[in-house]
Amino acid sequence: MRTILYLIRKEFLQIFRDKFIGKAIFGVPIVQMLLLVPAVTFEINNVRLCIIDRDMTTESRELVNQLEGSTFFKVRFATFSEQEANNLLHRGKCDLVLQIPPGFGKETGIGNPGRILVSVNAINAVNAQLSWAYLNGVIRDYNMNIVAENTGSLTFGSFPQIQISNRYWYNELLNYKYYMLPGVLGILVLAIGFLLAGLNLVKEKESGTIEQINVTPVKKYHFIIAKMVPFLIIGLIDLAVGLIIGKLTFNIPFEGSIAILFLGSAIFMVAVLGLALFISTFSGTQQQFMFTAFFFIIIFVLMSGIFTPLESMPLWAQKFDLINPAAYVMRINRMVMLKGSTFQDISRDIWSLTLIAIAFTALAVNRYRKTA
């Protein structure tokens, strides 16, 4: 135990001897939280509309006014030329083209269904689907207003209707920052642990200082543990900094136990550090390690569920996430912070993450070679 403590002390001295790394360790989480949390969002608040109103009646004008009154749509262009509207859509000047044909007002006035044509820029499929859903909502309200005007408010109220009262649980305001911050915390811990720990070991191999350790009677597991503990502590400190920034800047709710959150993050850090050290044993230079590290980080992050639900992924991707530590920490962070989940609620994720951490650490210890 005394040997490990001396080695840990040596690692801390070596880490903070580099002034850039010392500043980056605490500067990166602050910048990352302040930039990524408000920037990474799937919310749409500014759908640019181009209107082709060939009817020019009161009914068509009311529909346009209702769209202009929505918080989601901004009418940027109005034209009578379909070619011009399609050019605007092609050049990215607008996101949606709404065509109101002649006779729209006449048909709705006599009770027949009015027809409109909508062209949506679907390069970004998510934005296209959300824009179409918002437009359907506005048109549905417009239809209800027509029914109310034609039948009279009293008669309309006498129709049998289903009254729906809804409540959004765990994120009542539908604030996307509340959803993203726990995921960004996971990315923060992943980046700090994976990159710095691996680079630290490879840097020693390049400079030759690791040979001084190799010729001593220090055991392999002593060496690996000493490499992991400093970055584990640094990662948890960065996690605490991220939580403080989230609370002070974005007023992020925290419903669960902070001890459970740190427990899950600590196990996640062990898994990440084990994998990073395992990869670094194969890497002869820092460039080799960085190339491999970015490959794993991109896969872990994109398949972790931070942007899309795991249930929406193909079956093979869901199977892969059984060994993806980032997928577990994303669930743990969100369930603890937003739902107030207890240890029993996330016990399966905790134990699975523990097995992954043990496996990756064992691989690192087994692969490391003490050769002078």
Q: Which of 200-209, 289-298, 344-353 has the highest mean pLDDT?
A: 344-353
Residue 329 CA to residue 350 CA, distance in Å, equals: 9
Does residue 50 contact residue 88 with C-beta atoms inside 8 Å? Answer: yes
Least reliable range by pLDDT among 28-42, 92-106, 178-192, 220-234 = 28-42
Residue 363 CA to residue 276 CA, distance in Å, equals: 11
Average pLDDT over residues 219-236: 85
Length of the chain: 372
Amino acid at 275: L
Residue 319 CA to residue 301 CA, distance in Å, equals: 15
Question: What is the rounded average pLDDT for all residues in the chain?
Answer: 83
Average pLDDT over residues 169-188: 84
pLDDT at residue 178, rounded to an integer: 86
Residue 321 CA to residue 327 CA, distance in Å, equals: 6
Whole-model pTM: value is 0.78
Predicted confidence (pLDDT) at residue 104 exceeds the cutoff of 60: yes
**Which of the listed CATH numbers 3.10.20.600, 3.90.870.10, 3.40.1710.10, 3.30.420.40 matches domain 47-158?**
3.40.1710.10
CB neighbour list of residue 352: distance below 8 Å, 6 or more residues apart: 322, 328
Give the CA distances from residue 198 to residues 4, 29, 77, 80, 281, in Å, rounded to whole numbers and listed in that order.
19, 19, 53, 61, 9
The Cβ of residue 289 has, within 10 Å, a number of other Cβ atoms equal to 24
Residue 87's pLDDT band, with cuts at 50, 70 and 90, is very high
> 219: helix, coil or strand?
coil
Predicted confidence (pLDDT) at residue 255 exceeds the cutoff of 60: yes
Cα angle for residues 300, 306, 308 (degrees, 5° grid):
105
pLDDT at residue 151, rounded to an integer: 63
Q: Which of 30-44, 194-208, 222-236 has the highest mean pLDDT?
A: 222-236
Percent of the chain with pLDDT over 70: 92
pLDDT at residue 154, rounded to an integer: 44
Does residue 361 contact residue 228 with C-beta atoms inside 8 Å? Answer: yes
Predicted confidence (pLDDT) at residue 86 exceeds the cutoff of 80: yes
Residue-wise over 33-70: b if at least 16 C-beta within 10 A, else e?
beeebeebeeebeebbbbbbbebebebbebbbeebeeb
Residue 114: both structure tokens together: 């009015």
CATH 3.40.1710.10 in the chain: give the residue spans: 47-158
Average pLDDT over residues 278-293: 86
Residue carrying structure tokens 């289903």:
162
Residue 69 CA to residue 248 CA, distance in Å, equals: 33
Residue 44's pLDDT band, with cuts at 50, 70 and 90, is confident
Predicted confidence (pLDDT) at residue 159 exceeds the cutoff of 70: no
pLDDT at residue 268, rounded to an integer: 94
Find the helix or strand (DSSP H, E) in which 47 lies: strand 47-53
Least reliable range by pLDDT among 167-181, 197-211, 313-327 = 197-211
Q: Which of 56-60, 124-128, 200-204 has the highest mean pLDDT?
A: 56-60
pLDDT in tens, 45-70: 788 999 999 988 888 898 888 888 88
Residues 211, 212, 217, 223, CA torsion sign: negative
Predicted confidence (pLDDT) at residue 4 exceeds the cutoff of 70: yes
